[in-house]
Amino acid sequence: MSVTRSRQLALCAFAAAAVWLIAPTLAVPALGASTPSSNTTSTSLRSLLSSRELWATIDVCNSVRHPNTVGVRGSMPGDGNTHDKMYMSFRLQYLNTTSNVWVNLPTGAAPAFVSVGAGASARQGGTSFQLVPVAGKVGVRMRGVVSFQWRRGKKVLQSTSRPTTPKHKSLAGAEPAGYSAATCLIG
């Protein structure tokens, strides 16, 4: 199953005063492995936040096949309840080298949550952002942030966000195969 998002967003106000164009291109959920439990309790909801299956990574960084592209992938554990649904949203941040602070790329809208499947087992999802650097501007260090939600109907049971970190295994989309990083230099 894949979910395509094709909005294009003008991004500006980098520390280097560069203007970039960003187009999130594809969110691809993939099934992972997890053992379902019979009921979701507050204890199990809290344990979701400390699970080793909860992570975010960069799985594409300006590769030969995907120049000026940052792929962000997330993984989240299931809560064991097949009636619950899991959602992710993806955003990019750049490192402001003056303040040494990570700053969200201005998009004009909050990132949309996409469904990655039922809560019975762990799931992965991802999206790629195509960036167009301005000629003559210095490179910018990027990272991703993935927000996670576990929902029952319209009620959010648990939510959290994670910045990208290295050494994770993407089930789909990594370029080259097995690639996992915390940051990506574009430009």
Q: Is residue 114 in a domain? A: yes
Q: Is residue 2 in a domain? A: no
Q: How many domains does the chain have?
A: 1
Return the pLDDT at 43: 52
Return the pLDDT at 83: 94
Q: Residue 47 in 3-state DSSP?
A: helix
Encode pLDDT of 96-125 as tens digits: 999 999 999 876 556 789 999 999 999 999
How far apart are alpha carbons 77 and 33 in whole angstroms? Answer: 9
Q: Which of 79, 94, 182 is nearest to 133 (CA)?
A: 94
Q: Is residue 16 in a domain? A: yes
3-state helix, strand, coil in the chain (%, to 5): 5, 45, 50
Return the pLDDT at 26: 42
103: containing domain? 9-186
Q: What mean pLDDT comes out for the span 35-50?
A: 64
Whole-model pTM: value is: 0.79
Q: Is residue 1 in a domain? A: no
**CA contacts within 13 A on the Cβ side of 146:** 28
